Amino acid sequence: MTGATSGAPSRSDAVRNRRLLLDAAAKTFAERGVEVSIAEIAQCAGVGKGTVFRHFSSKEELLAAIMLGMLDELMDTATELLTADDPGLALREFMAAGVQLLVRDRAFCEVVGRPSLQNPQVRAAIDRLCDAGEALTARARERGVVRPDLTGTDVVLLLAGIQHTAAPLLSTEPQAWRRYLELALDGITARTGRELPHPPPRRLPLASPHPDSGC
Amino acid sequence: MTGATSGAPSRSDAVRNRRLLLDAAAKTFAERGVEVSIAEIAQCAGVGKGTVFRHFSSKEELLAAIMLGMLDELMDTATELLTADDPGLALREFMAAGVQLLVRDRAFCEVVGRPSLQNPQVRAAIDRLCDAGEALTARARERGVVRPDLTGTDVVLLLAGIQHTAAPLLSTEPQAWRRYLELALDGITARTGRELPHPPPRRLPLASPHPDSGC
DNA sequence: AGCTAAGCGGACCAGCTGGTCACCTTCAGC
DNA sequence: GCTGAAGGTGACCAGCTGGTCCGCTTAGCT
């Protein structure tokens, strides 16, 4: 075994380098997406490439470590909002927090949007987030502030959709996501009487085995 | 000059191979995104790799040829819908056509969503599409069937957002986009009285020069 | 049929990636 | 300060990519 997944290192220099590495990776992944090379992350952290693989056995593991941190952060927000007074406002704030996180981090968008990039831990964290989203949505539904056929999975999926809507504008209008969040909120609170045309998704599917073309 | 952009070939075998190539590329790009290799496209078409570069001077040019075809198709739909009786229904059908195109083609999503992948011709076609979207939206706005501060660029951006919302469900619920299209339609037709919180984007920005991290 | 230029194709190249490893440096306990 | 082990590192590797090139094939005119 070369790369060590084995817990936190003990030596002071190792602790420091691990911190530098996580910070550098978080920053570069956020700005450029999952495609940044390990070499670049190492350079950004001011360490050698070998050091990266000493701390994380693969690029995927490094990425997962950072994604899990962000998912946990959003999960904490959701948990806190579950005890808020106004369920409608709580749902809005959850969505705003989620979209903001997505807007700020390109790798985060790519990972949550593409099941094939998800390792089991990330996948589990996303599932937990959907559950939290469901709880928040249920409270809002009971109060009648959102349409009755809206689910938590709908809400979580919408976060990515809103981010993606505003994405092309990011460089010139970094706050444009607020416009589309509002549009989405108006959509999910609409009391049209009609049901939505497609049944709500019960669960996010696992990664499709292969998009393999039949050529 | 090796690769030839120079118009259509004259010899019958060349014409046939070009057709095979375009079909294979459209299929593989649609299924797997812009990252499919030229080698794979060539294999799928049943020709050698060199033949690809004889017909298209670069991968980007091949991709652009296909993307332009799809953009033109959507543009035709939009033009036709501009003369429809019901502007509200026309806008809905335009959006349905756009989302459907995006859902069926992964490369199309990637190209329209990321300015850095757009060559000038593709870019121009997207701009024209935004203009058509603006015309359709204007008609709907005048009839009061959509909120007064909705623009054509909003509508075009929403297409990508809706597709992205439904994307994780694609393998198990290929029609889920209809649900989120309806949600978006309810959002843009909502008569809340309030203005949306962020001013409408006037124009899609060009590719940002570099997401270059300051490391 | 014969000729010629257009077309074809796959070995090849440079450049990139994630990941490995043997050697060297440094921490920390004594 | 000595020492042993943990940590750091960059040359290196295999595998991939887009793109080139030149010898071979073939279409299509005469």
pLDDT in tens, A69-86: 999 999 999 999 999 999
Contact A215 B27 (CB under 8 A): yes
Contact B183 A158 (CB under 8 A): yes
Q: Which of residues 46-75 of A touch B (CB under 8 A)?
A: none
- Establish whether the CB of B4 is closer than 7 Å to any nucleic acid atom in strand D: no
3-class secondary structure for A71-137? HHHHHHHHHHHCCCCCHHHHHHHHHHHHHHHHHHCHHHHHHHHCHHHCCHHHHHHHHHHHHHHHHHH
Residues A67 and A172 both lie in one domain? yes
Backbone angles phi, psi at B156, to 5 degrees: -65, -40
- Tens of pLDDT, residue by residue over A108-120, are 999 998 878 889 9
Residues B141 and B209 both lie in one domain? yes
Residues B20 and B104 both lie in one domain? no
- Tens of pLDDT, residue by residue over B120-146, are 999 999 999 999 999 999 999 999 999
Find, among B204, B164, B145, the residue nearest to A184 by Cα.
B164
Q: CB count, 10 Å around CB of A89?
A: 13
pTM of the model: 0.92
Residues of chain B with Cβ-Cβ distance to A208 below 8 Å are: 171
- Estimate in Å the CA B28 to C1' D13 gap, whole number: 31
Residue A100 lies in a domain: yes
Residues A114 and A136 both lie in one domain? yes
Q: Pick the more confident residue, A83 or B4.
A: A83
| pLDDT band for position A1 (cuts 50, 70, 90) | very low
Quick one: closest CA in B to A208, which residue? B171
What per-residue confidence (pLDDT) applies to B2?
44
B104 to chain A, minimum CA–CA distance in Å?
Answer: 13
Count of domains in chain A?
Answer: 2
With a pLDDT cut of 90, the percent of chain B lying above it is: 80
Residues of chain B with Cβ-Cβ distance to A182 below 8 Å are: 196-198
What per-residue confidence (pLDDT) applies to B3?
44
Q: Which of residues 169-208 of A touch B (CB under 8 A)?
A: 169-173, 175-176, 178-180, 182-188, 190, 192, 196-201, 204-205, 208
CA distance B74 to B174: 20
Residues A194 and A150 both lie in one domain? yes
What per-residue confidence (pLDDT) applies to A92?
98
**Residue A21's CATH number:** 1.10.10.60
Contact B157 A166 (CB under 8 A): yes
Averaged pLDDT of chain A: 92
| pLDDT band for position A3 (cuts 50, 70, 90) | very low
Residues A189 and A211 both lie in one domain? yes
Between the CA atoms of B55, B57, B58 and B63, what dihedral angle is there, to the nearest 10 degrees? -50
- Estimate in Å the CA A15 to C1' C29 gap, whole number: 18
Whether the per-residue pLDDT at A4 is higher than 80: the answer is: no
Residue A210 lies in a domain: yes
Whether the per-residue pLDDT at A191 is higher than 90: the answer is: no
Residue B125 lies in a domain: yes
Q: Which two tokens stand for residue B177?
A: 């986009």
Q: Pick the more confident residue, A78 or B214.
A: A78
Residue B115 lies in a domain: yes
Query: Which of the nucleotides lies closest to B53 (Cα–C1')?
Result: D19
Q: Pick the more confident residue, B124 or B3.
A: B124
- Tens of pLDDT, residue by residue over B20-66, are 999 999 999 999 999 999 999 999 999 999 999 999 999 999 999 99
CA distance A202 to A26: 32
- Tens of pLDDT, residue by residue over A6-54, are 567 789 999 999 999 999 999 999 999 999 999 999 999 999 999 999 9
Find, among A120, A113, A102, A106, the residue nearest to A35 by Cα.
A106
What per-residue confidence (pLDDT) applies to A10?
81
Quick one: closest CA in A to B115, which residue? A168
Q: Which two tokens stand for residue B41?
A: 């496209």
Whether the per-residue pLDDT at A208 is higher than 80: the answer is: no
Residues B110 and B130 both lie in one domain? yes
| pLDDT band for position A209 (cuts 50, 70, 90) | low
Residues B67 and B49 both lie in one domain? no
**Residue A123's CATH number:** 1.10.357.10
In angstroms, the Cα distances linking A2 to A31, A51, A54 are: 29, 11, 7
Nearest protein residue, CA measured to C1' of C25: A13
Domain encompassing residue B50: 9-56
Whether the per-residue pLDDT at B1 is higher than 60: the answer is: no
Residues of chain A with Cβ-Cβ distance to B28 below 8 Å are: 213, 215
Contact B198 A179 (CB under 8 A): yes
Query: Which of the nucleotides lies closest to B61 (Cα–C1')?
Result: D18
Q: Which of residues 126-165 of A touch B (CB under 8 A)?
A: 154, 157-158, 160-165
Residues of chain A with Cβ-Cβ distance to B162 below 8 Å are: 161
Chain C nucleotides close to protein (CB under 7 A) are 6-12, 16-22, 26-28
Residue A185 lies in a domain: yes
CA distance B205 to A29: 23
- Name the one residue in this structure whose structure tokens are 């959003």: A74
What per-residue confidence (pLDDT) applies to A166?
96
Contact A182 B197 (CB under 8 A): yes
Whether the per-residue pLDDT at B158 is higher than 90: the answer is: yes
Residues A22 and A127 both lie in one domain? no
Residue B30 lies in a domain: yes
Q: Which two tokens stand for residue B90?
A: 């026309």
Cβ-contact B136, B114 below 8 angstroms: no
Residues A123 and A151 both lie in one domain? yes
Contact A160 B164 (CB under 8 A): yes
A105 to chain B, minimum CA–CA distance in Å?
Answer: 12
Query: Which of the nucleotides lies closest to B38 (Cα–C1')?
Result: D18
Whether the per-residue pLDDT at B202 is higher than 90: the answer is: no
- Establish whether the CB of A55 is closer than 7 Å to any nucleic acid atom in strand D: yes
| pLDDT band for position A2 (cuts 50, 70, 90) | very low
Residues B42 and B104 both lie in one domain? no
Residues B47 and B152 both lie in one domain? no
What is the rounded average pLDDT of the residues B185-196? 89
